[in-house]
Amino acid sequence: MAGERRNKGMRLSKLYSFKCLKPFSKEDHSQIGSRGYSRVVFCNDPDNPEAIQLNYRGNYVSTTKYTATNFIPKSLFEQFRRVANIYFLVVAFVSFSPLAPYTAPSVLAPLLFVIGATMVKEGVEDLRRRRQDIEANNRRVKVFGKNGEFSETKWKNLRVGDLVKVYKDEYFPADLLLLSSSYEDGVCYVETMNLDGETNLKLKHALEITSDEEESVKNFRGVIKCEDPNEHLYSFVGTLHFQGQQYPLSPQQILLRDSKLRNTEYIYGVVVFTGHDTKVMQNATDPPSKRSKIERKMDKIIYILFSILIVIAFTGSVFFGIITRRDVTDDGKMRRWYLRPDQTTVFYQPQRAVLAAFFHFLTALMLYGYLIPISLYVSIEVVKVLQSIFINQDQEMYHEETDRPARARTSNLNEELGQVDTILSDKTGTLTCNSMEFVKCSIAGTAYGRGMTEVEVALRKQKGMSMTPQEEDSLSIKDIKANSTKSVKGFNFWDERIVDGQWVNQPNAELIQKFFRVLAICHTAIPDVDSDTGEISYEAESPDEAAFVIASRELGFEFFARSQTNISLHEIDYMTGEKVDRVYELLHVLEFSSSRKRMSVIVRNPENRLFLLSKGADSVMFERLAKHGRQNERETKEHIKRYAEAGLRTLVITYREVDEDEYRIWEEEFLNAKTLVTEDRDALIDAAADKIEKDLILIGSTAVEDKLQKGVPDCIEKLSQAGVKIWVLTGDKTETAINIGYACSLLREGMEKIMITLDSPDIETLEKQGDKDAVAKASFQSIKKQLRDGMSQTAAATNNSANENQKMFGLVIDGKSLTFALDKKLEKEFLELASRCSSVICCRSSPKQKALVTRLVKSGTGRTTLAIGDGANDVGMLQEADIGVGISGAEGMQAVMASDFAIAQFRYLERLLLVHGHWCYRRIAMMICYFFYKNLTFGFTLFWYEAYASFSGKPAYNDWYMSCYNVFFTSLPVIALGVFDQDVSARLCLKYPLLYQEGVQNILFSWERILGWMLNGIISSMIIFFLTINTLASQAFRKDGQVVDYSVLGVTMYSSVVWTVNCQMAISINYFTWIQHCFIWGSIGVWYLFLVIYGSLPPTFSTTAFRVFVETSAPSPICWLTLVLVTFSALLPYFAYRAFQIKFRPMYHDIIVEQRRTERFESGTRTTSAVSGELPVQVEFTLHHLRANLSRRDSWN
């Protein structure tokens, strides 16, 4: 196997000063053996009797919620955590007692159906998880077996102590101790995207004594004593006992399950933690479960219904008690003798009427149980799942390049999408692409790079400035260039002075050469040469770094190979203009870290001179410049400022020649520091590094553009038109953030900017004095003052708001100020100010601050927040917000895993909110209102009937009619409403973003509306009941003289209810497709079908329904006439109300629908679409089809 050769001569561990020597503290290791640190692993010896005795868990992993045995009890338990379900369960039990107003099976059946449906749903979801588990458990890995060979086995069969071999691009099957790798010094690269979402490669490093060849690895015997399983990904405490020696282990030697081996041919490892003991599994907690506002409100409504239920049951019981007491007169005579009150059970005993009334109360609670919609929860769940499918299926939210459609990862929050008041957005990777492009640079005080960034273009547009001829020129050059050469990813640089080797003619050619050499050498990227095309691509730790290497490649400094100590470039010699290969000896790499903010390499060039090449943030680099290295400082600083304003990320490029002696002295000191084992080693290494990174000579600076994603400004524009507030929370510099703000039209010209910052001279002087308390106090006061000022500024504007153009405000606050603004004492004011501004930008904010800001907005305003982000640093924010949306872009899956919805591009947010959110909100809100309506309509007819049956608890209808009501006769239309209804089409939703306010202001689910629907239900029930009993009074109802009895009245009234609620659905929905027709009229049909079938069963089953329709009520014209009368009358109040409302207080969508109609009408008559600027629907439709056909034909050819 070709890949099996070891990369000879690669000792990367020596170069990387920081990564390979992670600190460990002795204290931890002393704990080994005590509690919490008791794990013992016999390496490569899992059959050791002692190891078997330890009996650690296998590598079998199960993430399912249920197992085959506990599914039924556990899922049942889950079900009955809902109040409504408990109520129905109690009812079901009591229904076996004589208290029940109806037969037990008719109560049990719908309950079982509902519970069963939910359980099936749970089961299916769990099965899916199980399938994933099976897939993971059956992956294969090579394990060293008894036969002395590596043989393949399934993951689930791995045991603690097994020696495994993992190849490139394979996942680690368990938490492993790295023994050795294809590199001589036992390093390997690991991608931890599945763990923390970071795409950059991490270096892992085996202990020196274990990093041997395969043969010795096979005979490796040792004992690891280490910590017990825990969830800390970045810590590991353990010791390796090997050949009588003890070696401390650190996280550096641990390879975690679910991370991937990269850039390394193979590794050997010993299994330390298996299965659920692995760190990733220990970490697997369920994300916080979120519930939507509507659902929370729904619970309140359920309580209202319970109160109504109790009130009417109580009323009935009081009357029942009074009537029952009077059944026996004072002198012992029976009044209603036909009820035999003298010989009765306790439930009807006149002598103990109070007790009877109490029992009746229980009966009534069951009888009016139809007020509580048993199927509401299950219907909502079904609806939400279907809505999620629609979101997933939306072609408009599918991203071609990454092949990613939108994903609703949870279906709980669909309707919440329609109520978002504030969006909190990450910047990098969310608003921008997170693919860096090298666009400009400043070398030796001269700015290069003609291209205009999108930010600049946008800024110009904002300012309304026309372009100067020169700029237009540069743009057109860019166009020409874009057309002539193929575009290179990560490179968008054009300057005729530099490209195509022209830089050799520049006056500063030497510096230019140095500049690009630094870019080509000072990095940690690894080249990857395509053996077929010879093209080189790079694996870099960060996209910025990749952009630099690519830029230097494009400009003639092609980095093509890296060995342990050498970096090889193809270079153009500026003297001769020829292409030569140069090899630099790499002596040390002082890596980038967030505290150092710089990176340096020390190399020996082919001419045997030593150089320190360094790049870093301006804040740390300028202070390290040598006196004679500051020649171009002023210009460079000016350029850096301009670049930052143009939304670019800048780095300062410097170098320095080091003489041999100095280097030798330094190296000694540095290596000493490295080998120290004391706690302050880190500080010493830093100090040592500091010593050589000084007296630098400035060459210039780079400017990399983090490009805005496509459509971001439009999307933000639309969202703010919809009245959604957008906050950007970014880690970037203030200037960059502001400019991105302008570019994506968050900040607009004419908007007043309120800056809150601590960059004031007084505070800086205080900081210099180093009195922390004083600084904190002064900062606090300063922020307080700035907030007050902002408030008065906005207040002044709102007071003058009588005039038309209300002033808009944008708030910009930096991370340091944010720390104080988020203080308990100031947060209220901060929030108040922020909510008066139409956009808010928080720069330099940490992940923690992002989450805190989110929490502040969420709890402070009580409005719905949506957080959107793509990286691991956004996870806190995503989980904190009401809705978390993850961008499933390049930067790993961590954000997506923590999100509720995943989209590929920021611009899809527009559609997700304005279309799907709006629809889902409408649907769920209407659905719930309608549910209450239909159950009140039905439940109250029962109550009115009771008044005519001396409140004895006899329902007006046959038991089975009632139990089928929620499940068969009314369920499908309401589900169709919840899944399909739309007030206006997607296109109009986007065209009139203001429509979205219906959700934000919660107009469709306000208490007035809910109570209105309830009232409508009660009115309908009254109309149904009283009209029916009066038309079908005591007289004959057929020509043959028969009179109405209990069964006929029940059937007629019930039919009226079914017709009314279904027709109510028909007139209240806005979207009538064949599905709605099918379900609405079908439900009515099903009722009659049911009546016929059930009525034909033997009378012992069907009791009062026996042949009642076929023989009795269908041939009677008065039954049908009653039905028509009742249905129309019951719908009349709602219809009249709607007509009135549309006339005088039209809702927003009503207007849009009307406008649409008139537009279509006008454009139809004028045969021109100029009025609306759009094609009429029909035409559009036809075109659409033609195009679809055309493309289909194309794809066949």
Partner 1 sequence: MSTNTASSSAGSGDPSTARKNSKRPKYSKFTQQELPACKPILTPGWVISTFLIVSVVFIPLGVISLFASQDVVEIVDRYDNDCIPAPARTNKVAFIQGASPKACNRTLTVTKRMKQPIYVYYQLENFYQNHRRYVKSRSDSQLRSPKYENQISACKPEDDAGGQPIVPCGLIAWSLFNDTYTLSRNNTPLAVNKKGIAWKSDKEHKFGNRVFPKNFQKGNLTGGATLKSDIPLSEQEDLIVWMRTAALPTFRKLYGKIETDLENGDTIHVTLQNNYNTYSFSGKKKLVLSTTSWLGGKNDFLGIAYLTVGGICFFLALAFTIMYLVKPRRLGDPSYLSWNRNPGGR
Binding residue numbers:
426-428, 545, 592, 615, 649, 730-732, 844, 850, 870, 873-874
| Position among 395, 533, 769, 805 found at the interface with partner 1 (CB under 8 A) | 395
User: 264, 188 in Cβ contact below 8 A?
Assistant: yes
Among 175, 426, 686, 882, which one carries the catalytic annotation?
426
Provide the residue type at 950 as one letter. S
With CB under 8 A as the contact rule, which of the stretches 12-20, 200-208, 299-307, 337-345 interacts with partner 1? 337-345
Binding test (CB under 8 A) with partner 1, winner from 1035, 1085, 1089, 1171 = 1035
H/E run at residue 931:
helix 918-947
By CB under 8 A, name the one of 401, 578, 773, 1008 that touches partner 1: 401
Up-side HSE of residue 773: CA atoms within 13 Å toward CB? 0
What is 1000-1067 written as a DSSP string?
HTT-TTSHHHHHHHHHHHHHHHHHHHHHHHHHTSSSB-STT--B--HHHHHHHHHHHHHHHHHHHHHH
Cβ contact 709:721 at 8 Å: no
User: Is 1072 near partner 1 (CB under 8 A)?
Assistant: yes
Q: Please, which of residues 1087-1106 interact with partner 1 by CB under 8 A? A: 1098-1100, 1103, 1106
Radius of gyration of the chain (CA): 38
Give yes or no for residue 1034 binding partner 1 (CB under 8 A). yes
Q: The tokens of 859 are what?
A: 């709890």
Q: Does 77 bind partner 1 (CB under 8 A)?
A: no
User: Binding of partner 1 at residue 300 (CB under 8 A)?
Assistant: no
Residues numbered 960 to 989 that lie near partner 1 (CB under 8 A) are 980, 982, 985-986
Q: By CB under 8 A, is residue 238 in contact with partner 1?
A: no
Q: Binding segment for partner 1 among 369-377, 546-554, 991-999, 1165-1173 (CB under 8 A)?
A: 991-999
Stretch of residues binding partner 1 (CB under 8 A), selected from 330-338, 750-758, 960-968, 1009-1017: 330-338
Site mask for partner 1 (CB under 8 A), range 701-740, x = bound: ----------------------x-----------------
Q: Does 1031 bind partner 1 (CB under 8 A)?
A: yes
Cα distances from 3 to residues 142, 183, 213, 566, in angstroms, run 15, 11, 14, 21
Task: Indicate whether 1152 belongs to the interface with partner 1 (CB under 8 A).
Answer: yes
CA distance 807 to 801: 8
Binding test (CB under 8 A) with partner 1, winner from 2, 27, 338, 469: 338
Residue 774 or 1124: the one with the smaller Cβ distance to partner 1 is 1124
Q: Is 954 in the site for partner 1 (CB under 8 A)?
A: yes
- What is the nearest approach in angstroms of partner 1 to the Cβ of residue 751? 18
By beta-carbon proximity to partner 1, the closer residue of 72 and 1124 is: 1124
Residue 449 CA to its chain's centroid (Å): 38
Please say which residue, 168 or 1160, places its beta carbon nearer to partner 1: 1160
Question: Which residue, 124 or 1132, is less far from partner 1 as judged by CB?
Answer: 1132
Binding residues for Mg(2+): 426, 428, 870, 874
CB-nearer residue toward partner 1: 644 or 1000: 1000
Q: Which stretch binds partner 1 (CB under 8 A): 290-298, 306-314, 875-883, 1063-1071?
A: 1063-1071
Please name the amino acid found at residue 336. Answer: R
3-state SS, residue 701 = strand
Q: Does 314 bind partner 1 (CB under 8 A)?
A: no
Residue ranges of the annotated binding site for ATP are: 426-428, 545, 592, 615, 649, 730-732, 844, 850, 873-874
Judge whether 284 and 269 are in contact, CB under 8 Å. no
Buried/exposed code over 536-568 (b: 16+ C-beta within 10 A; e: otherwise)? bbbbbbbbbbbbbbbbbbbbbbbbeebbbbebb
CB crowding 1018-1030: b at 16 or more within 10 Å, else e: bbbbebbbebbbe
Considering the complex, state which of residue 139 and residue 1138 has its C-beta at the smaller distance from partner 1: 1138
The candidate with the shortest Cα–Cα distance to 3, out of 269, 261, 270, 271, is: 261
Output the CA–CA distances (angstroms, integers) from residue 489 to 220, 429, 502, 560, 836, in the order listed.
46, 16, 22, 17, 41
CB of 1021 to partner 1, least distance (A): 17
| Separation of first and last alpha carbons in the chain | 42
Q: Confirm if 833 and 822 have CB atoms less than 8 A apart.
A: no
Quick check: 403 binds partner 1 (CB under 8 A)? Answer: yes
Q: Which is nearer to partner 1, 391 or 885 (CB)?
A: 391
Rule CB under 8 A: say whether 806 interacts with partner 1: no
Q: Toward partner 1, which CB reaches closer, 125 or 342?
A: 342
Q: Which of 609, 555, 620, 569 is CA-nearest to residue 587? A: 609
426 catalytic, yes or no?
yes
In the bound state with partner 1, the residue whose beta carbon lies nearer, of 68 and 802, is: 802
Q: Which of residues 1158-1177 bind partner 1 (CB under 8 A)?
A: 1158-1159
Which amino acid would we find at residue 233? L
The residue written with tokens 């390394």 in the block is 264
Shortest Cβ distance from residue 94 to partner 1 (Å)?
A: 15
179, containing H or E segment: strand 175-181
Cα-based distances in Å from 679 to 180, 239, 557, 673 = 27, 18, 42, 11
Q: Is 348 in the site for partner 1 (CB under 8 A)?
A: yes
Q: For partner 1, how many residues bind (rule: CB under 8 A)?
A: 122
Annotate 612-621 with b (16+ C-beta within 10 A) or e (fewer).
bbbbbbbeeb
Is 398 a binding residue for partner 1 by CB under 8 A? The answer is: yes
Of 336, 478, 674, 753, the residue at the interface with partner 1 (CB under 8 A) is 336
Sequence-distant contacts of 821-825: CB under 8 A, at least 24 apart = 821/756, 821/783, 821/787, 822/849, 822/852, 822/853, 822/856, 823/780
Of 583, 776, 1075, 1092, which lies in the binding site for partner 1, with binding defined by CB under 8 A?
A: 1075
Write the CB contacts of 1178 (distance below 8 Å, at least 6 apart in sequence).
Answer: none
Nearer to partner 1, 487 or 1073 (CB): 1073
The answer to whether residues 477 and 485 touch, using CB atoms and an 8 Å cutoff, is: no
The residues in 102-121 that bind partner 1, with binding defined as CB under 8 A, are none
Considering only 967, 1069, 1080, 1084, the residue that binds partner 1 (CB under 8 A) is 1069
Query: In whole angstroms, what is the distance from residue 513 CA to residue 292 CA?
Result: 59
8 A C-beta contact, residue 1150 and residue 922: no
The yes or no reply on residue 351 touching partner 1 (CB under 8 A) is no
Binding status of residue 1120 toward partner 1 by CB under 8 A: no
Binding segment (CB under 8 A) for partner 1, from list 70-78, 268-276, 868-876, 1157-1165: 1157-1165
* Closer to partner 1 by Cβ: residue 948 or 1007: 948
**Minimum distance, C-beta of residue 989 to partner 1, in the bound complex (Å):** 11
Question: What is the nearest approach in angstroms of partner 1 to the Cβ of residue 411?
Answer: 16
- State the minimum distance, in angstroms, from the CB of residue 1149 to partner 1: 10
- Residue 526 contacts residue 588 (beta carbons within 8 Å): no
Which of 291, 609, 1157, 1166 contacts partner 1 by CB under 8 A?
Answer: 1157
Q: Which is nearer to partner 1, 219 or 395 (CB)?
A: 395
Q: Is the dihedral of CA 595, 598, 599, 602 positive or negative?
A: negative
Q: Which of 1071, 1082, 1092, 1114 binds partner 1 (CB under 8 A)?
A: 1071
- Minimum CB distance to partner 1, residue 588 (Å): 46
Question: How many CA atoms lie less than 13 Å away from 1169 in the CB half-sphere?
Answer: 9
User: Scanning residues 924 to 953, which ones bind partner 1 (CB under 8 A)?
Assistant: 948-950, 952-953
Q: Does residue 508 belong to the site contacting partner 1 (CB under 8 A)? A: no
Enumerate the active-site residues. 426
